[in-house]
């Protein structure tokens, strides 16, 4: 089985990297406007965002989609 994933734009990119780069690019306030979840809007931090996103598949999918749209 091949470990290469040529059609996956997120291959090798961690959730922490995605959140950090999106927060750097947009800022927490604008990121909270783009993806309306409280972990980006009220007392945001990478640690609290990761904790929420790892437990909430629909929110993680939104973050991944925004990352692909922004940086691809």
pTM score above 0.75:
yes
Query: pLDDT category, 4, cuts 50, 70, 90?
Result: low
In angstroms, the CA 64 to CA 62 distance is 5
Q: Contact at 8 Å (CB) between 27 and 37?
A: no
**Angle CA(51)–CA(46)–CA(19) in degrees, nearest 5?**
95
Total domains, the chain: 1
3-state helix, strand, coil in the chain (%, to 5): 65, 0, 35
CATH label of the domain that carries residue 39? 1.10.720.30
In a domain, 3, yes or no: no
- For residue 7, being part of any structural domain is answered with no
Q: Do the domain assignments include residue 10? A: no
Is a pLDDT exceeding 90 seen at residue 26? yes
CA distance 1 to 58: 29
Could you tell me if residue 2 is inside a domain?
no
Range of the domain at 34: 15-71
Q: What's CA 2's distance to the chain center, in Å?
A: 26
pLDDT tens track for 27-67: 999 999 999 999 999 999 999 999 999 999 999 999 999 99
């Amino acid at each position: 089985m091949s470990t290469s994933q040529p059609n996956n734009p997120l291959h090798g990119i961690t959730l922490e990297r995605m959140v950090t780069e999106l927060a750097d690019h947009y800022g927490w306030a604008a990121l909270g406007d783009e993806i309306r979840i409280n972990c980006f809007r009220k007392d945001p931090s990478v640690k609290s965002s990761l904790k929420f996103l790892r437990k909430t598949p629909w929110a993680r999918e939104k973050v991944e989609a925004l990352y692909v749209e922004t940086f691809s």
